[in-house]
Each structure stands twice: as structure tokens, then as C-alpha cells.
Amino acid sequence: KNYIRISKGLIRKRSVLGDNVKENSEEIQNDDDPQESDAEMENESTPGPSSEPSENVSAENQETVTKFLKLEASMCDRRRLLYAETPISIVLESGKEWPYENAPLKMFDYKLSQGMSKHDFVMIMDYARGMPGFDEMNYADSVFCYRLVCAVDFVINSAYYTYKRGIEHNELVLSDGTFIPMVPTPLTGYEENANLLFQSQDDLMKFRTLMPLILHQWETCVPFAQLAPSHEEFCLLKAICVWHVSYYRLSEDGRRIAIAQRNRLIRALHHVCHLDSDDVGERFGNVMMALNYIMEQIRHVNCSFVMISIFGILKVDSLMLDVTSFW
């Protein structure tokens, strides 16, 4: 009741004037009906999500945060070693929140792009198996969940890396350590006489497939950078997205697992917001509302990958064909 939605997926407190008017009207109603007043007082005294958690709940939340920080750290180390060409001695340094910190990024080349590689699918498999609840699902549910983790990782990790790079650079950073300058806005390949810029029709079709996807990804990175998530918020939001989206395609048993894990992650996220923000309700609401544009981009990525796989636009890895086949 104390918050309203505004543009760009953010929320803020209601104005003081609006609260005073509401309080005055409630006082008039309460005077007319003493029983209703007592009921409202009882409801208001009930502890809400912002109440101080018990020691057991707090320990569970911290355990959840630590678990997903370790999972993301392992993926970060692998990407640093694989794509940043970082010496092993530096890779073993702890405390890195993204793989390309102090590492040179490479310019994205659409001609060389082949989608996700076998190495990506291996590290994502390790991440998925490390998620609490993943091993409890049946085979079909675990396969679907793994495929969804691939899409979520592609979207939200790129958004987080772009934020860590600095949105002021106007560069979209992809998971493989490549970047695309976004100022001026890249061509899509559909402009008039754009075909004159390409050596072959195949190059033009490949460019037309990749660049709209990249431009759409940039629309996700901008509000995510404005949100300025902490590393803990990013790790938990990523896992929440996996369980929230997969819930609707799982079996009945899988749904029970998904809802339990999602709720556990939401409690942990609220705990993190409670530690990092003076207004836990506003911060928690802003972080959770980021799911709107993240899930929209996941849907867009899946549609693009299916088209790429069906029409053979890229010479993608056979694993990528298998991952996109279920959509």
C-alpha cells in the first residue's frame, strides 16, 4: 500500500500528501466502525516481510547467498581462463565479480560468431547441477531446466558484464568477452542499399540475424545498469529467473521443487536488500521488477536461436541445436 509503480519498471513511495489524505479517510471510517478499526490494527501488527528475521531464517538466507556466489565465481574463473586469455596465476585470485576485470575486451565480429560453444555448455552444466533442487527433478524436468539456464545466462550475464564495464562506455559486453559499440547505433542490415556493404548474401543474412538480437539485448542492459545491482543481487536474481520461468513448463513434482527454491531465493534476496539498503521495500521491489525485461529478452533470444538453428544461418555447435530444439 505504501508504494506505487512508475515508469521504467521502478517503484517509489507514495507522496506524503497522499498518505495524509488516506490516513484521514481511514480515521473517519474507523470511527464509524470500531470493529473494523480493531481488525486493521491487528493486521498492521502482524510481522511482514520486512520484519527482522529469526536467527534460523537469517542463517538459511546467508547459506543461500554463499552457495550462489560460489557457483557464479566458478563460472567467472572459467570464462577468464577461456576467453580473457588470463594467466592461471591471476585466475586463481579470489574476489573477482566478473571475468573481464582489468582484461582487454575484443571487438565483436559477426563473421566469426558461431553462438555458444561446447565449453559454454559444460560450464553451464556445472552451474545447473550446483543449484539446490536440480538433482531432485526427474530427467525431463532437469533437461528443460538446464536448457533454460543457458538462455538466462546469456541474457543476464551480458547485462551484468556491461554494467560492470560501465554503461557510460556505450559498449555491449557479451559473455565471451567481446563487445559491440552502441554509439552510433549499429546497422541492422535492413537499411536501404545495406546489401552493398556485404560481400555475399550469406554475410548479409547472418548480419541481419545477429544485429537485431544484439540491439534488443542493449535494451535490457541499460535499465539493468541503472538498477546498479550488487554482486549478491545479480547472483540471486539470475537463479530466481531460472526457477520462475521454468515453473510453467515442469511436471507437477518439478513445480513443487521450483516454487520451493524460488521462494527460498526470494527470501535470500530480501535479506540482501535489507543489508544493503535503508529502504528495503523499495530496493527489493526494484530488483524484482527487473525480471520483466529480463524474461522478455530471454523469450526473444530463444526465438532467435530457434531461427538460427532451423535455417542453418550459423555453423553452430551440435549441442546448441539440441538446446534450442525444445522451444
**Domains of the chain listed by start with CATH number:** 56-324 (1.10.565.10)
pLDDT at 198: 87
Residue identified by cell 545447473 is 128
User: Is 70 exceeded by the pLDDT of residue 4?
Assistant: no
pTM of the predicted protein model = 0.78
Q: With beta carbons less than 8 A apart as the criterion, state whether 282 and 3 touch.
A: yes
How do residues 77-100 score in pLDDT, each as one tens digit?
889 888 887 777 776 676 678 999
Q: How high does pLDDT run on average in the chain?
A: 81
**Res. 20: pLDDT tops 90:** no
pLDDT digits (tens, 9 = 90+) for 311-325: 565 665 566 556 655
Confidence of residue 50 (pLDDT cuts 50, 70, 90): very low
Task: Characterize 50-64 residue by residue with b for buried, 16 or more Cβ atoms within 10 angstroms of its Cβ, and e for exposed.
Answer: eeebeeeeeebbeeb
For 207-256, what is each residue's pLDDT tens digit? 888 888 899 999 999 999 999 999 999 999 999 999 999 998 999 999 99
Q: What is the pLDDT of residue 101?
A: 85
Q: Which of 92, 108, 119 is nearest to 158 (CA)?
A: 108
What Å distances lie between residue 130 and 27, 64, 124, CA to CA?
53, 12, 10
User: Peptide bond preceding 184: is omega within 30 degrees of 0, i.e. cis?
Assistant: yes
* Residue reference for cell 495524509: 20
| pLDDT, tens only, 241-295 | 999 999 989 999 999 999 999 999 999 999 999 887 778 999 999 999 999 999 9
Distance CA 101, CA 309 (A): 33
The predicted pLDDT at position 201 comes to 85
Categorize the per-residue pLDDT at 46 as very low, low, confident or very high, splitting at 50, 70 and 90.
Answer: very low
Q: Is pLDDT larger for residue 10 or for residue 118?
A: 118
What pLDDT, on a 0 to 100 scale, did the predictor assign at position 266?
96
Q: How far apart are CA 18 and CA 15, in angstroms?
A: 5
3-state helix, strand, coil in the chain (%, to 5): 70, 5, 25
**Cα–Cα distances in angstroms (integers) from residue 316 to residues 9, 92, 167, 321, in the given order:** 35, 31, 30, 7
Decide if pLDDT at 137 tops 50.
yes
pLDDT above 90: percentage of residues in the chain: 46
